[in-house]
Structure 1
């Protein structure tokens, strides 16, 4: 059965009057029926006519009609609610990801790159109303996915990130940041954000990171920087065996935190250090909370009023009662 709500449920209190109405009808019926005192009724034949038996129930039609009218006054109705969300102030976000060989280090599980991909995919999925783009960089940088609202494209791009030596190895932080800025500089979004992730120091590219940060500031782009890597030593790739297997050795983790802090401060962003998978997830969750999108939710209510049927039913019962009293039972006093 459909869910029915009542606009005026206070009218149900009128049901308390029903017992009094029944008592009144019973009392009135007794006083409307004439009485005749005789010594014996043997000379009278009892009538078994249906009409005679039905007459006492005319009052029942009136009571049922009254109940139906009370329900109609309570305004039963069903409602179909449809929601529509409208992004009033969207955010354009570009994730600039370091894909140099050092991202294969195993201080995050199974390695830095795979740990990042999982967290970045969750981040993108949790922002359905924003546009997201993806830039990858090593010694050079390129746009893997332009800023788009198609989350399936973004998630597929994140999934396909890998160390494939397409880019010359190295860490060009300035190149990655400048490429990300180029994707956002013409954006009309109310907020423009870059999430810049690296695990090393700037040692490649022809654009200085500070210069790229100045350009980001000029375009009103906020940069959140993330240094990924544990404190101390980690299993780093250092060579590739003839069979293609990558060889690892323990090396000291080195991240230019001062540079990352400077970029973030200059653009009104924030610097984070991700030393584990859980810490990296916490960082993305914090950025998710810092960059909130204003959403306007519109609700549309479609009411289907049900009281008309009860009114018609009550009217029909009253019509039957009045008709019978003035036709079939007219001879009865």
Structure 2
């Protein structure tokens, strides 16, 4: 396991492709001017020792050196020891609706993005609880098993979109059933399932699944996103809206939030429903709910004794810079004698 101490320096890596593009442009400009100046073969005879390959090699070495120096500034740290620690918390599974209706933008920036923002904010407020993530639409998919690594959870969270599940629709029962598999029946840790959805589930199986979840000791909180007025489902290409989802009659589909379904599911397990359009309301509600759930002690393993590794990257970076200084743009004599590309024939 590793961690990055100064992640802000990673933005400097943007300079790498910029410098590469600038180099290509300069080379193009030089060749263009040379062709305007005179015959290319004549110019080669006037500068016989000029190498075409060496400038590219120098650039590659320089960019590698720059990359190493930037990574050195970031200071990656590697864990050197795995230890078992005792924590007190509960197991929380987030079930996020990734059906196409969640692309509706009646809540900014969209229902799905709003859902991911809510989950991220909830995770930020957690202490030592374990979390898991489930994505669902027409079926359910385990995105992340129960873990205490919040940074990994956020990484997987950001990658969630309707494309990760081929079956379309909204089957909350599938999400509940999958979430129950995250539960270790022998583990006495209290469990909570947080479902984030627009509630467009027309199946009665969701209530049955909620009843079964209650028997396993799983409480459900539902968060409704979207407006009851509804909105169309945009179809985008490269971030630009091309059209809107249409039904069989070629009418634009208007998707609406259905809080009643979500309220019934939560009520079946002794949980509650909260309007997801207000971030503060959601965070306060979830915080109060967690405060009223008894936390249980459990063991988890984690890496410790993180040691800085910046010196290796800085050392290699300075070595490459030193090498770049002594790399001349002239042809290397012994390579030229080998005539690898039959240039003398």
TM range (shorter): 0.5 to 0.7
Give the C-alpha shift of residue 186 in structure 1. Answer: 2.8
Give the Cα–Cα distance (whole angstroms) in 1 for the partners of residues 149 and 92 of structure 2.
13
CA distance in 2, matches of 1:243, 1:120: 23
TM-score (norm. length: structure 1):
0.55
The structure 1 residue matched to 2:244, chosen from 239, 243, 248, is 248
Report the counterpart of residue 16 of structure 1 in structure 2: none
Alignment partner of 1:226 is 2:223: yes
Residues 147-158 of structure 1 mapped to structure 2, 5 A cutoff:
147-158=146-157
Distance 1:257 1:214, change over 3 A: same
Give the structure 1 partner of residue 267 of structure 2. 265
CA contact (8 A) 2:101 2:255 kept: no
Q: Provide the rounded CA distance (Å) in 1 between the counterparts of 2:186 and 2:149.
A: 16
Q: What's the offset of the Cα at 1:198?
A: 1.4
Q: Give ranges in structure 2 of 5+ residues lacking alignment.
A: 1-84, 246-251, 298-345
Contact kept in structure 1, 2:220 and 2:265, CA below 8 Å:
yes
Structural mapping, 1:155-234, within 5 Å: 155-164=154-163, 166-186=165-185, 188-203=187-202, 208-234=205-231
What TM-score do the two structures reach when normalised by structure 2?
A: 0.53
Q: Structure 1 residues 108, 255: CA separation in 2 closer, same or farther (over 3 Å shift)? A: closer
Pick closer, same or farther for the CA change 1:188–1:166 going to 2, 3 Å.
same
In 2, Cα distance between equivalents of 1:93 and 1:273: 19
Q: What is the deviation of 1:282?
A: 2.0
**Partner residue, 1:59:** none
Summarize the Cα distance change of 1:148–1:251 in structure 2 as closer, same or farther, 3 Å threshold: same
State whether residues 230 and 257 of structure 2, in contact with CA within 8 Å, keep that contact through their aligned partners in structure 1.
no
Structure 1 residue 132 corresponds to structure 2 residue 131: yes
Residue 97 to residue 281, structure 1, CA distance change in 2 (3 Å)? farther
Q: Residue 133 of structure 1 aligns to a residue in which SS?
A: strand
Identify the residue that residue 98 of structure 1 maps to in structure 2.
97
User: 1:38-82 deviations in whole A, cap 9, x for unaligned?
Assistant: xxxxxxxxxxxxxxxxxxxxxxxxxxxxxxxxxxxxxxxxxxxxx
Give structure 1 stretches of 5+ with no counterpart: 1-84, 297-333
Structure 1 Cα separation of the partners of residues 113 and 186 of structure 2: 30
Q: Distance in 1 between matches of 2:261 and 2:230?
A: 21
**After superposition, what is the alpha-carbon deviation per residue over 1:86-137, rounded to whole angstroms, capped at 9, x for unaligned?**
644x110000000001111111211111122122112112213000000000
